[in-house]
Structures are given as structure tokens and as C-alpha cells.
Amino acid sequence: MEIIGNVLYGQSGGPTSVINSSAFGLIEEAYKLGIKKVYAARYGIDGIINDDLIDLSIFSENELKELKTIPGASFGSVRYKLPEYEKDCSPFEEILKTFKKYNIRYFFYNGGNDSMDTCYKIDRFLKTINYQCYVIGIPKTIDNDLVEIDHTPGYGSAAKYVKDTVEEIVSDNLSYRNAKVNIIEIMGRSAGWLAASSALAHLSGLGPDLIYLPETTFYIDDFIKNVKNIYDKNKRINIVVSEGIKDKNNNFISASQKQDIFGHNNLGGVGQYLLGYVEEKLHLSGRAIELSIPQRAAIHDISKVDQKEAILCGRYAIRKAINGTSGVMISMKRSSNDRYKISYVTSSLEKVANGVKLVPSFMIDEKNHQMTKEFFTYICPIVGAENKVHLKINSKILKK
């Protein structure tokens, strides 16, 4: 098809290690396909509304390649929820002004479920007013909680970092005869995919003893009982908790229940909170370890598979748009598990917007707070096999 105008790309939501790789894939391919101008919005939708775009021709080819090595969201991200057009059209009018000024006919928004909602609303608005523009969402989130896609770009790298870090923490914990209670807190408010990825550390014999996900109700008494049993037996314990675990009334188990020196709520997280319980009830000392920002930023430990897929999502997006597709998110479909193979397809933005994909129960071994082999089959190829640690020697020495 004929090229009818310029490209605009924006980033939205929490950064991942490979969101800039998607940007790279899209931009490089856009120039290759003959697009004259490729713009990026600074700070996502905020930059579009406020006419704050960058013409990417100021960068050399080599500088654009550097995107693959930069953590964070290089063009600036934003958390912004567009209203319904019918209720408040003012931000849409500003968006249109910017689109017309730069002759934007291909628009790409790179983000998670909220961002797909934004993308969907913009697509609907532009269709309503008959402004010809092809709108495509590019998926991204470490949480892996988008529906209609096998897994999200960003998840594999975050999962690899979590796996490696949990292995290292568990190995460190083995170094002392009477070791500590380690409670490792991992991101994921709604879905436990990232906390679940810590189970991969079992492959090298250094997995966590207990994994708590938001998908199963959290009972504090059971938790204390489990900790006691394992500690009594092993004289050490490593626990992974998702920040999003909830009690039977659907309230977050969290530090918002405690106050800091200034009387503020919300200091520290669920790990710190649970550690307080363990210290009080079992008189065991320990350490709450929050993996914090590095989970979504640790580009030094990316999954190569994840990076490649992120680039391909970007490339595929521009090709689909030029071929006349709009109102979709780029999606990945797994053709086979025996030999991992991904095909790139599209899903309707409407279906994706604001949906949340939880870890299905067949991947959770509820009784043991561990993951089933179905989960391993699902996640192993995404995370890749780099940096394998072999620990036969360790188990011969310290686990005797």
C-alpha cells in the first residue's frame, strides 16, 4: 500500500528492559519502508497533548541502535487515563491538533493494559471524525498480565532477573549454618507471573521454599505454620511473595497497615510487613528483600529471546499499519511447545484494553506454594538458557 503520512510512537506505563528494543524495531523498519518522518512523543500521551514531539531524524543510525542497550523508557513514559470521548473531548481535540500539525497517519502506543485502553480510545475517536490514521498498540509489561497474547515483551527479561537473583539469594542463605528467614518481595499487583518466575531457580537446586501469588488467598496463620515447619526442618527458609497478595476479604496484605516515624502509612512493603510477623510469632530473625526497580530495569541481565521478540513486535507493527490495519494490538501466538515458535498476529484493542490475565490454576501447585510443570513448560523458552548455574557441588557440600 501507499504511504500516506508520518509515524508517531509513544511509550506508556512502567518501563521494561526491552521497551526501547521495540522502539528500535519500529523506527528502523519505518525508515526502511520509506516513511519520511518518524516522531516520538516525549512522555507518551502527555507529549502528544502538549505538542512535545521529537523528530527522530536528529539521530544517526548508530544512535538508534543504542536504544537496545538503554534501560528505562527512553522517550519518557506516563500514566494517564484518557476520559471517554463522549464525556470530555478536550484532550482528544489536542491530540488531533498535534496529529494534523505533523501529518501523523500511523500511530503506535507501547504499553500495558491501561495503555491499550488509551490506544483504543484514540483509534475510536479518529475513526469517528474520519481522520485517516492507522493505530496500533505494541505490548509491553513485566507483569505478563495482558490478555490475548501468549506472553508480553518485557516479562522474559524481568523473569530472568528474578530467577538469577533468587538463585543468588538462596545460595547466599546456604552459606551460614543457622541462616535467616529471607522474604523476597516481587512486583505484580494483580497477577503473580513475575513472582512465579522465581520457581525457575529450582532448576539449579536453589528455588524458594514458598511462593505466594495474588491468585490464591493469603492466610496469615497458614503462612506462619508453613514457615515454622520449613524452618524447623532446614534451619533456613526463602520465601517469595508477590506485592499483590490479598486476604480472604480481598484486601492487600501490606505495609499500609503500619506507620513510619512520621505517622505516614505505606512505608515498606508486604515483605517487611510479613517479616515483622515472623519475628513476632516465631522469634526468628530475617531479612525482607524488595527487588524493587531493578526488576523492570535490569537490562544487564536481559533474556535474548525477549529482546528479539520485542524488536519483532515493533517491526511487525509498522508493517501491519502500512498495510492498512488499525485498532489492534500486536500479539504473539505460540505455535508449538515442543519446539518453541512464536508467530506474530494481531488482537483487537477492545479485547485487550483493561483485561487482566491471571496465572491459571493448573500452573499453581497450591498445596506446596510452588509452580507445576505446566508453568515451567510455558516460561522456560521465554527466559532462555543463558547464565545457567550448575550446583551439584553445592548440594553435595551444604545440603548434606
Interface of this chain with a second copy, residues 26 to 45, rule: CB under 8 A: 40, 42-43
CA 52 – CA 225 distance, rounded (Å): 55
Is residue 15 part of the contact set for a second copy (CB under 8 A)? yes
Widest pairwise Cα distance in the chain: 72
User: Nearest distance from residue 78's CB to a second copy, in Å?
Assistant: 7
Is the separation of the CB atoms in 330 and 138 below 8 Å? yes
Closest-CA residue to 310 (of 321, 322, 299, 294): 299
Indicate the residue among 24 and 99 with the shorter CB distance to a second copy.
24
Of residues 3, 33, 37, 59, which one binds a second copy by CB under 8 A? 59
3-state secondary structure of 343: strand
Tell me which residues in 234-263 interact with a second copy (CB under 8 A). 257-258, 260-262
Indicate the residue among 71 and 153 with the shorter CB distance to a second copy.
71
Is the separation of the CB atoms in 284 and 238 below 8 Å? no
Of residues 10, 25, 71, 314, which one binds a second copy by CB under 8 A? 71
Of residues 5, 228, 268, 282, which one binds a second copy by CB under 8 A? 268
Tell me which residues in 358-377 interact with a second copy (CB under 8 A). none
Of residues 74, 256, 325, 354, which one binds a second copy by CB under 8 A? 74
CA 95 – CA 88 distance, rounded (Å): 13
Is the separation of the CB atoms in 85 and 92 below 8 Å? yes
User: Nearest distance from residue 230's CB to a second copy, in Å?
Assistant: 19
Is the separation of the CB atoms in 311 and 138 below 8 Å? no
Scanning 128-136, 151-159, 287-295, 345-353 for contacts with a second copy by CB under 8 A, the matching segment is 287-295
Indicate the residue among 67 and 330 with the shorter CB distance to a second copy.
67
Q: 361 burial class (0-12, 13-18, 19+ CB within 10 angstroms)?
A: exposed
State the residue for C-alpha cell 483493561. Answer: 354
Is residue 287 part of the contact set for a second copy (CB under 8 A)? yes
Scanning 171-179, 326-334, 358-366, 373-381 for contacts with a second copy by CB under 8 A, the matching segment is 171-179
Q: Which residues contact 193 (CB under 8 A, 6 or more apart)?
A: 143, 144, 145, 155, 159, 359
Closest-CA residue to 110 (of 7, 222, 252, 219): 7
Tell me which residues in 97-156 interact with a second copy (CB under 8 A). none
User: Nearest distance from residue 169's CB to a second copy, in Å?
Assistant: 5
User: Nearest distance from residue 196's CB to a second copy, in Å?
Assistant: 20
Is the separation of the CB atoms in 343 and 107 below 8 Å? no
CA 378 – CA 151 distance, rounded (Å): 9
Judged by CB under 8 A, how many residues of this single chain contact a second copy? 72
Indicate the residue among 370 and 394 with the shorter CB distance to a second copy.
394
Q: Dihedrals φ, ψ of 332, to 5°?
A: -120, 135
Q: Give the x-and-dash track for 289-328 against a second copy (CB under 8 A).
A: xx-xxx-xxxxxx---------------------------
Is residue 188 part of the contact set for a second copy (CB under 8 A)? no
Distance of CA 264 to the CA centre of its chain: 29
Indicate the residue among 26 and 133 with the shorter CB distance to a second copy.
26
